[in-house]
Amino acid sequence: MTVYPLHGAIRAYAWGSRTAIAELQGRPAPEGPEAELWLGAHPGDPSTVPGPDGPVKLTELIAGDPVGQLGVPVVERFGERLPYLMKVLAAGAPLSLQAHPDAAYAKAAFARQELDPGAPKNYTDPHHKPEMLVALTPFEALCGFRSPDVSAEVLGELGLPQLDPVIATLRTGDLAEAVRLLLTWPESGREDLIKQVAAAARQIPDDHPNTASYVLAVDLAGYYPGDPGVLVALLLNLVWLQPGQAIWMPAGNLHAYLGGLGVELMASSDNVLRGGLTPKRVDVDELLRVLRFEVLEDPLLHPVEIGPGVTSWKVPVPDFELYRITLTEDRPPAQLPGRGPRVILGASGDVHVGEGHGVPVEVRPGEAAYAPASAGPLTAAGVGVFFVASVPV
């Protein structure tokens, strides 16, 4: 029942925190930002496990024995690949507004793109990318569209006549047209518009019911002057997560992470369509094809208690499931939940999760382990909190 220590790759995007991942792992802060710790077998940055001659990429380990590593049900449904990717995400600054295609659209769009060398390169693979995030620290995010009536009220309070067509459109309930109007705002007038939005937002009293939206507008305008995504952000739910709370971003959900540290679990894909708050390319037409223009009344993903100290979050996709386990001194060792290939991530304490070639494998905060399907049932012992990602097949 071999379990491997898993060493993830850190991505140093500019929006990353300079301290959060290092503090979680108990090491000195680096000189530059650390945005994401990737734990999985995504070909863009696969994790590694120890081998007899040095580190071995998880992609290579799986390729050498797909059935033993993934199990027959996973191979039959997803092919010879790990269908999910776990990340530790540390946002020190706002990320771009973005959305992801559903499975059928991603497959078809990628195929069309591959047939046309001159087509815009919007897709990196033929897979969907639904994702969830569980906060490890207080976490701020934008997730899904709120009521267009509320958004019309927020924009109307700014008192800018040039926004009247957008406000009128929102009052009809047409979110798609409102987003299109904002994202196709004439280039020549964008910088002045966002300056006026920020100036007007600063004049809103602190006791206004929607003051958080105006504070957000000022903050985003500082990061992204001249970006109409500042206004699109005001059409979305602003969410403050406490540690242990989660949000769910299915296909077509427009969202953005604004700040904090969290565990992110997603289908293993890198298909991202951006909608603003970024210097990168925004394909408005393609984004509008992918977005789901429906009001999200409750952006929180509510937990389900599976057993003593075991929490899960149910998501309607077959690619992944996530568990959080809490072990205390008065709680006996617990069998690890989940089936198939599992990635185990420590959040606090020190937990023993198995053995690899006769050597105990433990996870501490920010450390991870990988258990192939062939490892079978596993028992965790110790004191701490950890997460387990698996495949619900």
Concatenated DSSP letters of 115-156:
H-TTS----SSS----EEEEESS-EEEEEEE--HHHHHHHHH
pLDDT in tens, 153-205: 999 999 999 999 999 999 999 999 999 999 999 999 999 999 999 999 999 99
Of the options 3.10.20.310, 3.40.50.720, 3.40.50.300, 2.60.120.10, the CATH number for the domain spanning 4-143+240-287: 2.60.120.10
CA distances for 142 relative to 88, 202, 257, 288, angstroms: 18, 20, 6, 18
Per-residue pLDDT, 333? 86
pTM: 0.95
pLDDT in tens, 77-99: 999 999 999 999 999 999 999 99
d(C-alpha 41, C-alpha 59), whole Å: 5
- Is the pLDDT score of 356 beyond 90? no
Stretch 234-259: mean pLDDT, rounded?
A: 97
The answer to whether the CB of 357 falls within 8 A of the CB of 285 is: no
pLDDT in tens, 34-75: 999 999 999 999 999 999 899 999 999 999 999 999 999 999
pLDDT in tens, 137-147: 999 999 999 99
**Mean pLDDT value across the chain:** 95
Stretch 100-107: mean pLDDT, rounded?
A: 96
Per-residue pLDDT, 224? 96
- The top-level CATH class assigned to 304-390 is mainly beta
- Report the sign of the C-alpha dihedral through residues 332, 333, 335, 341, in that order: positive
Report which of 34, 262, 252, 321 is spatially closest to residue 141, judged by C-alpha positions: 262
- Is the pLDDT score of 344 beyond 90? yes
Band (pLDDT 50/70/90 cuts) for residue 117 is: confident
- Is the pLDDT score of 334 beyond 90? no
Which residues make Cβ contacts (< 8 Å) with residue 388, sequence separation at least 6?
Answer: 322, 323, 325, 336, 337, 338, 342, 343, 344, 345
Per-residue pLDDT, 1? 60
Helix, strand, or coil here: 157?
coil
Per-residue pLDDT, 8? 97
Residue intervals of the chain classified under CATH 2.60.120.10 are: 4-143+240-287, 304-390
Six-digit token pair at 41? 């077998």
* In the block, residue with structure tokens 């004439």: 186
d(C-alpha 70, C-alpha 82), whole Å: 7
CB half-sphere exposure, 333, CA atoms < 13 A: 10
